[in-house]
Amino acid sequence: MLYLKKILLCILAFIMLCPLIKAEEIKLAPNAKSVLLMEASTGEIIYGRDIHIKYAPASMTKMMSMLLYLEAIDRGQMSWDEKIKVSVNASSMGGSQILLETGEIMSVTDLFKGVAIGSGNDASVALAERVGGTEAHFVQMMNNRAKELGLKNSNFKNSHGLDIANHYSTAYDMALIARELVKYDKLLEYTSIYETYLRANTDRKFWLVNTNKLVRFYQGVDGIKTGYTNEAGHCLTATAQKDGMRLIAVVFGEPDGTIRNNEVSAMLDYGFNVYGLERVLSNESNLGTVNVAGGKKRTVTIVPTEDVNILYQKSVGKKNITYKVKVDKLSAPIKRGDIVGSIDILDNDKIIRNINVTVSEDIKKANILELYIRHLGDIIKGLS
């Protein structure tokens, strides 16, 4: 009888420990120093290990550089068809390059391809000098932008990622940069190209092959950036989209490129197989109408500033999501994009996220005559 009790106690202990055993069973990218798997639209971390430990990011540095190039184009500071004259500094860069020559003139488009596809250090510096005036000033811009994005464990010393003291980032910070980058269709258009040519119709034709082999060998991968130096090891920030869900996978310090690619592929498989994404609201969803004081129109529709997606485990099922809208008192003029309140997203009555709301259209301020006629109409309507 005593022996049977011992057996039962052992079984009970095993059952109690089962959840812990299952939790420990999952170890993605075991050869990497640092690992993160994130769903892009929500920013939710599906899996992470040592995500805030600082490591040399190698050419993943170029992700921040590319973000600044794209933002410069967005604000009209630079254009895709603009021609840039290559400096001595840019053409003298070592490591991976597209063999730029001093004084050579190349379009922003081709230089960007050189960075996004071929990881060209020379192309990175040429664009950095164009945006920042000097690479040193551009690096200051990189670090300023990092602070704006909430990157707490990154410090950049150059635009390309060659090893240098005090140049570091983390898996989490790289994922945050990637979240910004995937908002740009143009970025993904170029990072998804496996091979192309620069200077195609010249005697200096250059074959450009994507350093991210998953673009070709993993369905759905369309970016973003590899990295390798002796200090950093083999690194990769990859993104893939499937069934309406976009994942971002980051690894630092893999022992070689093959292991890196295999382990990132397994991370993406895990994310897509285990998790799903439900769209609760779109940025066009009608959240009701509110009054606008002094506007040409009396009321306006309220909409979210962004799509509201909810990540869920497929084995558990979709979550019980509700939401509550809170809107400020509105006065004209007001424009679409102006923050006018927020939505609390609730899972079983527990707030899990807060999203800003805006108006569906611009509302101009009514002039005195318009307000007088409206007031008169209200009086007449009240008398009838």
pLDDT single digits (tens) 265-305 = 999 999 999 999 999 999 999 999 999 999 889 999 999 99
Same domain? For 251 and 229 the reply is yes
Same domain? For 146 and 244 the reply is yes
pLDDT number for residue 382: 74
Q: Which of 34, 41, 119, 159 is catalytic?
A: 119
Examine residue 296 and state whether it is found in any structural domain, yes or no: yes
Residue 22 has pLDDT above 60, yes or no: no
Residue 81 has pLDDT above 90, yes or no: yes
Examine residue 10 and state whether it is found in any structural domain, yes or no: no
Domain count for the chain: 2
- Domain assignment of residue 293, given as a range: 282-383
Contacts of 18 (CB under 8 A, 6+ apart): none
Same domain? For 238 and 289 the reply is no
Examine residue 11 and state whether it is found in any structural domain, yes or no: no
If pLDDT is split at 50, 70 and 90, which confidence band does 17 have?
very low
Least confident interval from 17-21, 39-43, 58-62, 113-117: 17-21
Q: Identify the CATH number of the domain in which residue 263 sits.
A: 3.40.710.10
Examine residue 97 and state whether it is found in any structural domain, yes or no: yes
The stretch 10-25 carries a mean pLDDT of 42
The stretch 25-54 carries a mean pLDDT of 96
Same domain? For 179 and 50 the reply is yes
How many other CB atoms sit within 10 Å of the CB of residue 306?
Answer: 14
Beta strands in the chain (DSSP E): 34-39, 45-49, 83-85, 105-107, 195-198, 206-209, 221-229, 233-242, 245-254, 275-281, 289-293, 299-304, 308-313, 321-327, 330-331, 341-347, 350-359
Same domain? For 228 and 209 the reply is yes
pLDDT number for residue 14: 41
User: Would you call 59 a catalytic residue per the annotation?
Assistant: yes
pLDDT number for residue 42: 95
Same domain? For 225 and 86 the reply is yes
**Which has more confidence, 123 or 15?**
123
Examine residue 21 and state whether it is found in any structural domain, yes or no: no
pLDDT single digits (tens) 303-326 = 999 999 999 999 999 999 999 999
pLDDT single digits (tens) 92-122 = 999 999 999 999 999 999 999 999 999 999 9
What does the mean pLDDT of the chain come to?
92
pLDDT number for residue 384: 65
pLDDT single digits (tens) 341-369 = 999 999 998 999 999 999 999 999 888 88
Same domain? For 129 and 52 the reply is yes
Pick from 275, 302, 332: which residue ends a domain? 275
Q: Which of 33, 62, 113, 225 is catalytic?
A: 62
C-alpha closest to that of 161 among 67, 66, 61: 61
Same domain? For 118 and 260 the reply is yes
pLDDT single digits (tens) 249-268 = 999 999 999 999 999 999 99
User: Would you call 119 a catalytic residue per the annotation?
Assistant: yes
Q: Which of 33, 34, 41, 59 is catalytic?
A: 59
Pick from 206, 240, 275: which residue ends a domain? 275
Residue 4 has pLDDT above 80, yes or no: no
Pick from 245, 275, 305: which residue ends a domain? 275
Same domain? For 267 and 353 the reply is no
Q: What is the C-alpha to C-alpha distance for residues 221 and 211, in angstroms, rounded to an integer?
A: 13
Examine residue 19 and state whether it is found in any structural domain, yes or no: no
Residue 132 has pLDDT above 60, yes or no: yes
- Residues 100 and 123 sit within 8 Å (Cβ to Cβ): yes
pTM: 0.87
Same domain? For 300 and 364 the reply is yes
Examine residue 346 and state whether it is found in any structural domain, yes or no: yes
Examine residue 167 and state whether it is found in any structural domain, yes or no: yes
Same domain? For 260 and 375 the reply is no
pLDDT single digits (tens) 181-227 = 999 999 999 999 999 999 998 999 999 999 999 999 999 999 999 99
Same domain? For 249 and 333 the reply is no
Q: Identify the CATH number of the domain in which residue 360 sits.
A: 2.60.410.10
